[in-house]
Amino acid sequence: MYQVKGYFSSLKGSYYEIGKQQGEFVKQNPYLIPQFIHEENVISNNHWTESTNIVQA
């Protein structure tokens, strides 16, 4: 069975404070680190173009 886990949060404060809250959350859930830290250009330009077209449709 395919399982998806999602999180929603409401973050308040300055950009710095929000980033700090996100960092604390990721520290508590280290499996999320790859979602926040990416190598440069891991997503192809073609993927971005397709995604943009879907959103604008």
Where exactly are the structural domains of the chain? Answer: 15-56
State what percent of residues in the chain have pLDDT above 90. Answer: 23
Q: How confident is the model at residue 44 (pLDDT cuts 50, 70, 90)?
A: confident
| Residues 22 and 36 sit within 8 Å (Cβ to Cβ) | yes
* 35: helix, strand or coil: helix
Task: Say whether pLDDT at 39 is over 70.
Answer: no
pLDDT band at residue 9 under the 50/70/90 scheme: confident
Place of tokens 């409401």: 10
Does 7 score more than 70 pLDDT? yes
For residue 17, the model assigns a pLDDT of: 96
- What's the whole-number mean pLDDT along residues 31-36? 83
